[in-house]
């Protein structure tokens, strides 16, 4: 009997289900969900700590989502291997599920370096899942000193989430700046300042060399007392299933624009994949919710025999701290034009007559107009880019372009 | 489905659409109480340079990238109309980062809002169109049957 199998139950899986059902309304779908929750909005875990959302609102889809879409969900089960010859997914309880096609949407896992003494720390947490978040919430109170190892997106959103709920928050990172994967030095300094103004302490260019039960010892010789540690050093794509089955993997599972892996009838989507980043022309792990959904949707359509391409992927982030928003997109390996003014940062990176990336802090209105220039590879000589650098507006496009956008169905 | 379309050559740049939008979505029955002396947060806005002026509101795209990108699952499409569940929205602005038209902006409290064609407010159809003095925005069927 025909059956689609999805390994993972995050947003890529939800996209995959919706992609399949747009093409094939009947064939049963089995979802293998290691987490014991229906699909939830993973990036909202910090907003949960902030009380800006709750468990109910964090549900990504309505309660009847799986039932309506003819999905059987195996909660608490883990896929341990792919038997590509017999087209079966082997589960951790020894059972197996046969597939017609399968989507690996297995996400990523926290990367924890082998810190000396880490085993002596009682209260240590990752900050990736709802269960991580609930455990962290339970372990801290207004008297807690919290150390966060890692000043990236995950570590800093955790810091913002805990703000006001604990006594102190210290963030350390080996990098010389915050958000080093998406911001340059100047931009990082602006965001760091906002965080510091809200009481978050930083130890940058420094790393923990050793832990004891309630103390971290850093390379610079500092000692940081803590009640709880959050380890947010980095993440690694969960590639093992495909790798062990002989599929092509790099830092993620290698996929084409149709989300096909190198193994027949095996697709992959979301944070576990490495797909084409059109802003740099390179294969990249783009661990972002929008990409996860769109990759999952594309995989679903193709699994069900339809035809779909996701060939407009670019890295992008909209991230705010204490009311200050930063938006970034694309890659920064182009010529920089800096249009910062009035305390707002606006940096554009141009390569071969195309916008390849940007960083905005503060003034982020209508930033999607910039993102679409990258995504659509719009030649900058066909728009008034001087005007666009001052303000994001469709007035900088041709009249014909505007007529299509605002006078037609798009 | 019917959508709001722009005739930019007829737009005077009078900004009345912005006021009518803010009023229609205010839930207040008296226009002066709703708008006078207040900063308004309309869901349609005028863009202009020294030669042109036109109104921008949600295009209710056939393949909406905001829906696919919303990290809170707060934006949905039903019967062609794209709506925001303000209870679910956390104000992350990802939709602003992806909308190619610049059609979304946060409201007064930082929660996102967008044109929902006045279908759920007391106006019942787009107030911006009803109040446009020059038919520079219209509410009608265009293009293929969807």
Picking from A13, A62, A153, A290 by the largest number of B CB atoms within 10 A of its own CB, the best residue to mutate is: A290
| Domains in chain B, number | 2
> Tens digit of pLDDT for each residue in A265-316?
999 999 999 999 999 999 999 999 999 999 999 999 999 999 999 999 999 9
Residues A94 and A138 in one domain: no
Contact call for A327 and B105, based on CB within 8 A: no
Domain shared by A226 and A134, yes or no: yes
CATH of the domain at B75: 3.30.70.20
* Domain final position from A187, A207, A233: A233
CB contact under 8 A, A368 and B101: yes
Give the A window 311-370 contacts with B, CB below 8 Å.
Answer: 316-320, 323, 325, 327, 329, 364-369
Which ipTM score applies to this complex?
Answer: 0.96
Q: Which chain B residues are closer than 8 Å to A316 by Cβ?
A: 97-98
Q: Are residues A95 and A44 in the same domain?
A: yes
CATH of the domain at A140: 3.50.50.60
Asked if B88 lies within 8 A of A410 by C-beta distance, the reply is: no
Domain end marker among A209, A233, A257: A233
Same domain? For B90 and B133 the reply is no
Q: Which residue on chain B is closest to A54 by alpha carbon? A: B88
Separation in Å, CA of B49 to nearest CA in chain A: 7
Q: What is the structure's pLDDT at B145?
A: 57
- Shared domain for A327 and A386, answered yes or no, is yes
Whether A241 and A229 map to the same domain: the answer is: no
Closest-CA distance, A387 to chain B, in angstroms, reads 9
Q: How many domains does chain A have?
A: 3
Cβ-proximal residues to A334 (8 Å cutoff; 6+ apart), any chain: A349, A350, A351, A355, A356, A357
Shared-domain flag, residues B28 and B68: no
Are both A100 and A183 inside the same structural domain?
no
- Judging contacts by C-beta atoms under 8 Å, the chain B residues touching residue A55 are none
The 10s digit of each residue's pLDDT in B66-104 is 999 999 999 999 999 999 999 999 999 999 999 999 999
Residue A314 lies in a domain: no
**Which residues of chain B make contact with A52, given a CB cutoff of 8 A?**
90-91
Q: Which of B7, B100, B146 lies closest to A368 in CB terms?
A: B100
- A51 and A135 in a common domain: no
Range of the domain at B25: 1-57+123-146
Q: Which pairs with CB-CB distance under 8 Å and at least 24 residues apart come from B131-135?
A: B131/B16, B131/B17, B131/B19, B131/B20, B132/B16, B132/B17, B133/B12, B133/B14, B133/B16, B134/B10, B134/B11, B134/B12, B135/B7, B135/B10
For A106-130, how does the pLDDT look when each residue is reduced to its tens digit (9 = 90+)? 999 999 999 999 999 999 999 999 9
The structure tokens listed for B146 are 């969807």
Q: Is residue A261 part of a domain?
A: yes
pTM: 0.96
pLDDT for A357-407, tens place per residue? 999 999 999 999 999 999 999 999 999 999 999 999 999 999 999 999 999
- Domain that residue A222 falls in: 118-233
């Amino acid at each position: 009997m025909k059956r689609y199998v999805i390994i993972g139950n995050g947003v890529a899986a939800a996209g995959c289900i919706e992609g399949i059902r747009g093409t094939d309304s009947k064939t049963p779908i089995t979802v293998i969900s290691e987490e014991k929750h229906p699909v939830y909005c993973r990036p909202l875990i910090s907003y949960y700590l902030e009380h800006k959302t709750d468990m109910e609102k964090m549900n990504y889809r309505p309660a009847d989502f799986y039932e309506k879409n003819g999905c059987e969900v195996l909660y608490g089960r883990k896929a341990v291997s792919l038997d590509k010859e017999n087209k079966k997914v082997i589960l951790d309880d020894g059972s197996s599920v046969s597939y017609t096609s399968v989507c690996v949407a297995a996400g990523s896992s926290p990367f924890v370096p082998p810190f000396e003494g880490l085993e002596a720390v009682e209260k240590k947490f990752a900050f990736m899942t709802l269960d991580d978040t609930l455990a962290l919430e339970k372990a801290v109170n207004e008297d807690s000193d919290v150390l966060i190892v890692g000043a990236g997106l995950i570590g800093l959103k955790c810091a913002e989430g805990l703000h006001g709920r604990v006594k102190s928050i210290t963030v350390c990172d080996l990098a010389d700046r915050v958000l080093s994967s998406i911001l340059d030095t100047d931009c990082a300094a602006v965001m760091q300042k906002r965080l510091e103004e809200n009481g978050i302490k930083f130890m940058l260019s420094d790393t923990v060399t050793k832990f004891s039960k309630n103390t971290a010892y850093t390379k610079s010789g500092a000692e940081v007392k803590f009640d709880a540690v959050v380890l947010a050093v980095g993440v690694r794509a969960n590639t093992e299933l495909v790798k062990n089955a002989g599929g092509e993997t790099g830092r993620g599972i290698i996929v084409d624009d149709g989300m096909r892996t190198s193994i027949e009838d095996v697709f992959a989507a979301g944070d576990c994949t490495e797909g084409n980043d059109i802003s740099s022309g390179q294969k990249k792990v783009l661990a972002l919710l929008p990409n996860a959904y769109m990759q999952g949707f594309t995989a679903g359509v193709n699994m069900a025999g339809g035809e779909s391409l996701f060939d407009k992927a670019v890295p992008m982030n909209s991230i705010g701290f204490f009311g200050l928003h930063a938006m970034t997109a694309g890659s920064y390996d182009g010529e920089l034009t800096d249009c910062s003014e009035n305390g707002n940062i606006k940096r554009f990176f141009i390569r071969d007559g195309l916008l390849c990336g940007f960083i905005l802090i503060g003034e982020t209105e209508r930033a999607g107009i910039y993102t679409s220039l990258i995504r659509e590879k719009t030649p900058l000589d066909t728009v008034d880019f001087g005007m666009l650098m001052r303000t994001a507006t469709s007035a900088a496009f041709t009249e014909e372009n505007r007529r299509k956008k605002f006078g037609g169905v798009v | 489905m019917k959508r709001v379309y722009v005739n930019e050559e007829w737009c005077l740049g009078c900004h009345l659409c912005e006021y009518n939008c803010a009023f229609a979505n205010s839930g207040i029955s008296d226009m002066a109480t709703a708008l006078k002396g207040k900063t308004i947060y309309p869901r349609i806005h005028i863009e202009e340079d020294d030669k042109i002026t036109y109104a921008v509101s949600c295009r209710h795209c056939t393949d909406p990238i905001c829906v696919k990108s919303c990290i809170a699952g707060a934006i949905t499409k039903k019967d062609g109309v794209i709506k925001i569940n303000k209870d679910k929205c956390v104000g992350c602005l990802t939709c602003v980062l992806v909308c190619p038209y610049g059609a979304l902006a946060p409201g007064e409290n930082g929660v996102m809002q967008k044109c929902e064609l006045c279908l759920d407010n007391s106006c019942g159809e787009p107030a911006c169109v009803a109040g446009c003095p020059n038919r520079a925005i219209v509410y009608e069927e265009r293009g293929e049957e969807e």
